[in-house]
Structure 1
Amino acid sequence: MRDARGPVGVIAAVDCGTNSIRLLVCETPHRPVVREMRVVRLGEGIDATGRMSEAALARTFAALDEYAALVREHGAARVRLCATSATRDAANAEVFAAGVRERLGIDPDVVTGEEEAALSFAGAARGLREEPAWPVLVVDLGGGSTELVLGGPDGPPEGHSMDVGSVRLHERHAFSDPPTAAEVDACARDVDAALDACPVDPARAATVVGVAGTITTVAAAALDLTAYDAGAIDQQVLDVADVHAAVDRLVAMTVEQRRALPFMHPGRADVVGAGAIVLRQVLRRSGVGRLVVSESDILDGIAWSLVD
């Protein structure tokens, strides 16, 4: 389902999530010039305090300084920054907004959960190389929230944002290192409660597409990669049994054992187990036998919003 429209000038998209902040500079999302990611943990402690910490803001602004220089270097005519779960929940969101204006000259778009879901679906669905069986469920598993978006080839998708993500659950459940069986079960029950309240039923999906860092990391584990390789991960179709086995391995490890994995980003090693539990519970409810893993996600959806 690659979109073949021509160049429209250089654009820049920024996705600011709970755990990471990412930049895409491109002519269209299928013609990337720069694709960067920094783990800044903007949502650190926000579930407990309701505020973004000074340290988290400092890390995020340092990354934005780098991104602003890249945007200027490549002459991007249009820039959009979408901020998601962490800034939606924070009492001091204006401090973040002022920092974005200072560095990029634009106001951040603090998108709703429904808007986040639609952007995720647009990025993932347009990135598919082959026509899927419809309807497609896109699972965008972030640090603060998880979006489930179900759609067909025509008409708007149906989406919902759940307040269960890798960072939020890791902090909420205060896992031991490694987690105990009781802690893992408690986390799974938390995810199941969110799914029970979710109007988007995974069981309705004919195809499940997983996006974002937790899911691509689980895919790297299932593929037993010797380094993180986006090209090897993108559009992989994995047996769900292999995904479950990779989840079980990651959840059972200590943080240091995860950090030693050759494909693991060090900023994801502590929280990936909690995120993997979310993926496992969603797949159990879906009933599908395979998972499509995509490197195209909300960041690409933000870029498409500047093209359309």
Structure 2
Amino acid sequence: MTDYDRSAEAPPAGTRHRVRGPSRPPVDTAPASHGGKRPARWTSASKPELSRKRRVATYAALDLGTNNCRLLIARPTENGFRVLDGFSRIVRLGEGLSQTGRLSEAAMERTVEALKLCAGKLRQHEGIKARIIATEACRSADNSASFLARVKREAGLHFEVVDRKTEAELAVTGCADLIELDAPGAILFDIGGGSSELAWLDFRGGRPRNQGKTSASIRSWHSLPVGVVSIAEKFGGVDVTPEIFEAMVAHVTNELRHFRGREKLREMLATHPVHFLGTSGTVTTLAGLYLGLDRYERSKVDGLWMRAEDIDATMRVLMGMSYERRMGNPCIGRERADLVIPGCAIFEAIRREWPCSRIRVADRGLREGILISMMAADRVWMRGRPGRNRRGGRDAK
């Protein structure tokens, strides 16, 4: 449940994204034409329609979190996938949830309007196979069932509310190819709006060849009941003094004590170069600030390594910014200005608990994990090259 994410917008014409790693090949994000229409209702993991002429199926991943509504539509290529369309909007569905236990009418209205747009994008693709998930806000709100019924009625979308373990596994699957081949283990953290997921992957017994099965290497995972929205509502996110920031960090640190295998992980860190990987708007924002970008550029951020001293320096710069300056910064923006420092507090608590010399930034996560999982389950990368039949010849036209 990444707190915010600029990469979810439809990729600009000609953009190509190369994914590094052993088990997933290049991802082609060049635009593609859309075709046909389909009925206006989709269920999570609905099956694609069949036609007489062989065609490559289209897949979609829709992730509704506490803060963001994000959609990614893609089609498999020879060894990866090609992004056809995307959508991202900050809806703040969980606004006030930590205080009232309920989704507010205003938040639900914003979210339904965004989901109608997502449904319209899905409608442009015939025979699409979609997985449509909701995370922390819909897991915890007292009125989530009535909200999801409204979404089904008004937008034609049927959501699967995933548990925290599934959320962690999908994040791992989406980011796994950024983990270096020789890493004996990895810690992946995803700072969300209402919760934050941590997963410890142990590769000392071998690493799965298939990226869709990377989650099998999870030795321990934990979902923290804290995210950027809940921390901002508890402590404030507009004017954050050093004292308030330290109180935020202490609050998160207390939650980290419940991480199963915490001491075992410390022992491993003392003897093995465990790989740290962060996927969230907090981490990508820090990367953009560190690079001094005039505007956020995913291609420069995704996969970037940041040293501990660079993270420290960038956090100091951020803490020195007024709320107005944060709003005016192109890598932060008005909608994120009150959330980025609470996100940094969660990040800082993780860094203090398990100190590391560098961290890799991932501008990817649940949506990519959903797509990879669906395509791997359908064995799309084991059928040979698109456009060729099993005997090696071209399909009949």
- The correspondence of residues 242-253 of structure 1 with structure 2, limited to 5 A, is 242-253=310-321
Q: 1:137 to 1:278 in 2, by over 3 A?
A: same
The structural deviation recorded for 1:14 is 0.7
Quote the residue 1:149 is aligned against: 199
The residue type equivalent to 1:24 in the other structure is: L
The residue type equivalent to 1:114 in the other structure is: K
Q: Aligned partners of 1:119, 1:200: CA distance in 2, in Å?
A: 21
The residue type equivalent to 1:295 in the other structure is: D
**Superposed CA offset, 1:121-171 (max 9, x none):** 111104x27525131111101111110011132434132100111111010
Deviates more, 1:191-200 or 1:27-36: 27-36
The residue type equivalent to 1:159 in the other structure is: W
Deviates more, 1:113-122 or 1:154-163: 154-163
Q: Which has the higher helix share?
A: 1
**Superposed CA offset, 1:213-245 (max 9, x none):** 121111111221110101110100111211122
Quote the residue 1:15 is aligned against: 63
1:131 corresponds to 2:181: yes
**Superposed CA offset, 1:249-301 (max 9, x none):** 22342321111112224221111100011111212222221111111211111
Listed as ranges, the gaps of 5+ residues in structure 1 are: none
Quote the residue 2:24 is aligned against: 3
**Pick aligned residue for 2:224 from 140, 153, 162:** 162
The residue type equivalent to 1:134 in the other structure is: P
Quote the residue 1:179 is aligned against: 240
Q: Aligned partners of 1:261, 1:132: CA distance in 2, in Å?
A: 37
Contact 1:160 1:200 in 2 (8 A): no
The residue type equivalent to 2:58 in the other structure is: V
Q: Aligned partners of 2:182, 2:154: CA distance in 1, in Å?
A: 40
**Pick aligned residue for 2:355 from 281, 287, 292:** 287
Contact 1:247 1:277 in 2 (8 A): no
Contact 2:119 2:156 in 1 (8 A): no
**Pick aligned residue for 1:110 from 138, 161, 164:** 161
- The correspondence of residues 27-106 of structure 1 with structure 2, limited to 5 A, is 27-28=75-76, 30-75=81-126, 77-102=128-153, 105-106=156-157
Considering only CA atoms, is the larger Rg found in Structure 1 or Structure 2? Answer: 2
**Superposed CA offset, 1:87-141 (max 9, x none):** 1110001122113323554421111111111111111104x27525131111101
Deviates more, 1:138-147 or 1:298-307: 298-307
Q: Secondary structure at the match of 1:31?
A: strand
Contact 1:178 1:252 in 2 (8 A): no
Q: Aligned partners of 1:103, 1:10: CA distance in 2, in Å?
A: 24
Return the TM-score normalized by structure 2.
Answer: 0.72
Quote the residue 2:382 is aligned against: none
Task: Give identity over the alignment, percent.
Answer: 32
Q: Aligned partners of 1:104, 1:119: CA distance in 2, in Å?
A: 25
Q: Secondary structure at the match of 1:263?
A: coil
Contact 2:250 2:349 in 1 (8 A): no
Return the TM-score normalized by structure 1.
Answer: 0.92
Q: Secondary structure at the match of 1:270?
A: coil
Deviates more, 1:133-142 or 1:258-267: 258-267
Contact 1:148 1:200 in 2 (8 A): no
Q: Aligned partners of 1:83, 1:146: CA distance in 2, in Å?
A: 14
Q: Secondary structure at the match of 1:143?
A: coil
The structural deviation recorded for 1:68 is 0.8
**Pick aligned residue for 2:284 from 216, 219, 225:** 216
Contact 1:82 1:110 in 2 (8 A): yes
The structural deviation recorded for 1:304 is 2.1
The structural deviation recorded for 1:196 is 1.3
Q: 1:174 to 1:287 in 2, by over 3 A?
A: closer
Q: Aligned partners of 1:40, 1:200: CA distance in 2, in Å?
A: 35
Q: Aligned partners of 2:228, 2:293: CA distance in 1, in Å?
A: 22
The residue type equivalent to 2:250 in the other structure is: R
Q: Aligned partners of 1:234, 1:144: CA distance in 2, in Å?
A: 23
RMSD: 2.1
Q: Secondary structure at the match of 2:124?
A: helix
**Pick aligned residue for 2:256 from 187, 191, 195:** 195
The residue type equivalent to 2:61 in the other structure is: A
Q: Aligned partners of 1:213, 1:222: CA distance in 2, in Å?
A: 14
Q: 1:81 to 1:38 in 2, by over 3 A?
A: same
